[in-house]
A and B are shown apart, each in its own frame.
Chain A
Amino acid sequence: MISWRTFLGLAGACAALLACSNDPYPARDAQQKILYSSFSSAPRTLDPAVAYSVVDHMVTGNVYDTLLEYHFLKRPYQLIPGLAMEVPEAEILEDGRARYRFSLREEILFQEDPCFTHFHPGTKTRRVTAHDMVFSLQRIADPKVNSPISSTLIRILGFAEFGKRLQQMRDESEAFAALPVHGQYEEAGGIEGVRASGDLDLEIVLDSAYPQLLYWFAMPFTTPLPWEAVVYYDGNEGRNAFEEHPVGTGPFILSTYDKYARIVFDRNPNWYGALHPEWQAPGATYPSEGEAGDGEAGLLDPEYVGRPLPLIDRIEFRMEKEDIPSFAKFLQGYYDASGVIQESFNMVVQEDNLSDEMVELGVDLVKSVSPDIYYLGFNMDDPVVGHKAGERGRKLRQAMSLMVDTEGYTERFANKRGIPAQSLLPPGLFGFDESYRNPYRQVDLAHAKRLMEEAGYPGGIDPNTGRAIRLTFDTPDPSAQGRARYQFFVDSWRKLGVDVEIAATNYNQFQEKVGNGAYQLFMWGWVADYPDPENFLFLLHGPNGRTASGGPNTANFNHARYSELFLQMKDMPNSPERALLIDEMLKILEVERPWIELFHRENYALYHHWLANVKPVGLSFSTLKYRDLDAPLRARWREDHNHPIRWPLFLVVLLFAAMMVRGVQTYLEERQ
Chain B
Amino acid sequence: MIAYIVRRLLHGVGIVLGVLGLLFILFFTVTSPEGMATKALGEKAPPEAIAQWVTNHGYDRPLFWNPESWSDTLLVDHYYSMLSFDFGRSDADDRPIMDRIKQGAKPSLYLTVPLFFIGLFLSLSGAMLVAFFRGTFIDKAGLVVSVLAMSIPTMVYIIAGQYILGKVLLWFPISGFDRDPTMVWKFLMLPVIVGMIESLGGGVRFYRTVFLEESNRDYVRTARAKGCGELQLMTHHVLGNAMIPLLTQVVVAIPHLFLGALLTESFFGIPGLGAAMVEAIHGNDFSTLRALVFIGCLLFIVAQIVTDIAYTVVDPRVRLK
Give A636-658 as 1s and 0s: 1 = Cβ < 8 Å from B's Cβ atoms: 00000011111010000000000
Contacts of B178 in A (CB 8 A): 24, 261-262
CA distance A324 to B136 in the complex (A): 43
Indicate whether A401 reaches chain B with its CB closer than 8 angstroms: no
User: Is the CB–CB distance between A550 and B35 below 8 Å?
Assistant: no
Indicate whether A467 reaches chain B with its CB closer than 8 angstroms: no
Contacts of B182 in A (CB 8 A): 26
A525 to chain B, nearest CB (A): 9
User: Is the CB–CB distance between B125 and A148 below 8 Å?
Assistant: no
User: A residues near B, CB below 8 A?
Assistant: 1-2, 6, 9, 16-17, 20-24, 26, 41-45, 52-53, 143, 146-148, 150-151, 235, 241, 243-244, 258, 260-262, 318-322, 324-326, 328-329, 332, 334, 506-512, 515, 529, 549-552, 642-646, 648, 659, 662-663, 666-667, 670
**Cβ 8 A contact of B179, one of A17, A261, A670:** A261
User: Is the CB–CB distance between B35 and A508 below 8 Å?
Assistant: yes
Instruction: List CB contacts (< 8 Å) of B1-41 with chain A.
Output: 31-32, 34-36, 38-41
CA distance A643 to B50 in the complex (A): 53
Instruction: List CB contacts (< 8 Å) of B156-190 with chain A.
Output: 162, 166-180, 182-183, 186-187, 189
Indicate whether B94 reaches chain A with its CB closer than 8 angstroms: yes
Instruction: Enumerate 17 A-B pairs (CB-CB under 8 Å) in ascending A order.
Output: A52-B42, A53-B42, A148-B42, A148-B45, A261-B177, A262-B177, A319-B177, A321-B269, A325-B166, A325-B174, A328-B166, A509-B32, A511-B39, A529-B44, A645-B168, A663-B129, A670-B136
Indicate whether B79 reaches chain A with its CB closer than 8 angstroms: no
CA distance A142 to B34 in the complex (A): 21
Contacts of A329 in B (CB 8 A): 173-176
Q: Which residue of B lies closest to A659 (CB)?
A: B138
CA distance A379 to B275 in the complex (A): 36
> Are A45 and B94 also in contact (CB < 8 A) when A20-B171, A328-B174 are?
yes
Contacts of A320 in B (CB 8 A): 175-176, 269
> Are A648 and B169 also in contact (CB < 8 A) when A20-B189, A325-B267 are?
yes
In addition to A325-B267, A511-B38, A512-B32, 12 A-B residue pairs with Cβ atoms within 8 Å of each other are A2-B125, A22-B166, A53-B42, A146-B52, A148-B41, A150-B46, A258-B271, A260-B276, A320-B176, A321-B269, A506-B284, A511-B35
CA distance A666 to B136 in the complex (A): 7
A325 to chain B, nearest CB (A): 4
> Are A146 and B53 also in contact (CB < 8 A) when A24-B187, A328-B166, A666-B133 are?
yes
Say whether chain A's binding surface is mostly helix, strand, loop, or mixed: loop
Contacts of B32 in A (CB 8 A): 508-509, 511-512
Number of contacts between A and B (CB, 8 Å)?
A: 182
Shortest beta-carbon contacts, A-B, top 7: A550-B47, A508-B35, A260-B271, A511-B35, A325-B175, A24-B173, A261-B271
B262 to chain A, nearest CB (A): 12
Contacts of B271 in A (CB 8 A): 258, 260-261, 319
B138 to chain A, nearest CB (A): 4
CA distance A329 to B268 in the complex (A): 12
CA distance A22 to B93 in the complex (A): 33
